[in-house]
Structure 1
Amino acid sequence: GVSHMTIRRDVSKLEEQGLLVSVSGGVRAVSRLATEPSHLVKSTLQSEEKQAIGALAASHIAKNSCIYLDAGTTTLALARAILDRDDLQVVTNDFEITQLLIDASQCGVIHTGGTLCRENRSCVGESAARTLRHLAIDTAFISASGWDSRGIFTPDENKVTVKETVSQVSARSILLCDSSKYNQVATFMALPLTRFTTIITDRHLSDAAASHIARHACEVLRAG
């Protein structure tokens, strides 16, 4: 028979290659996203992990910064973690984040405008990217529909130009993505992981995946 050590080593190797992902009690194959869940559905998923990611991300924001918050429920968790800050300029394409910051913070807010994406309650496309090209951002906090050891993915081509543009106009880019999205790919790779200085995910990302990414792409921080 095959030893447990050999199986573990083989699983680890397949995980590093992005072909498998460890989950509680076993492994699963890489999955492909054809469409994205709605904002309402996403807001109910991994909420504890998102809260931990948001809190850790907030500690990485220097005083008097201009930051970008990408559309998504993990970046919304970060927005909730900075409500007591009055020294920040926040740029976002997300309506939910904008509404929260208008109602409950003293941050300066710039909304990109652009083509409405109803499912995601955000603006996408070239018109949103055009706003970003005129800005100088200190830190961009970028979200993704899925990610693996190569990069971040989206099933929506209109989101690619926004993510690409904001990474170009920002001094540094940080990926905020929970581990349930790891090894989920979609048609469009928006950015390679090498474009990020740091990935902030949750404690459930496996050691094998974290060390592989840290060796080949960027720093990995696991919150919670």
Structure 2
Amino acid sequence: MKVFAFTLLILLTSIACIQAQTISGSVADRQTKQPLAYCSVALFKSPDSTLVTGLLTSENGAFKFENVTPFSANVQGGLPAIYRYDNLHNPLRFGGDVTFNARSEKWDVSLSGNYLRNDIAGQRTGDVNTTIGQVFTSFPSDGERSFIRYNYTARGSVSFTPRSSDAFSVGFYTGFRSQSRRADIVYNNTKTDLQTGDVII
């Protein structure tokens, strides 16, 4: 019996997570190197350049963006199947992972989830036989044996730190995984009389 299967999954896109919760700096004149007071400073998202917030520098040209919300996302996709074996459906291969985090002086909230679809296209070719008395029976077979596989999870946590000596945290996790098999196999049974060599219908 032979079973053929082929799976290929690659990472297509990855958006890096912004780790810093505070972004600070200063603005100065390029020529004189003197700080620029009350200068406009804007914070934009990358890569779509969406405006997040803006502010004015202080008297000494300093600025600080606080409580910047980090966000990360990973997207996965699979290459098309090289061998489909004339199966009923094309295998699907894709997935994603998203994380959101918000932090303040006392609170820290994190939410994340992911989904992965990773099907397998396959074919089963085999031959099984039995001998009962003087009858030899052969069961050659050929057909589709593929898998639909997917899973997803969700996670979350909340932490509260009222003071440096105390911290309280609560979290949750849930997930689901599924795998179903399609076996569309044709058996060509043949019975043979071992004494006469005749094929029995």
Output the TM-score relative to the length of structure 1: 0.19
TM-score (norm 2): 0.20
Q: Which has the higher contact order (CA 8 A, sep 6+)?
A: 1
Higher helix content, 1 or 2: 1
Instruction: Please identify the structure whose Cα radius of gyration is greater.
Output: 2
**Structure richer in strand, relative to its length:** 2
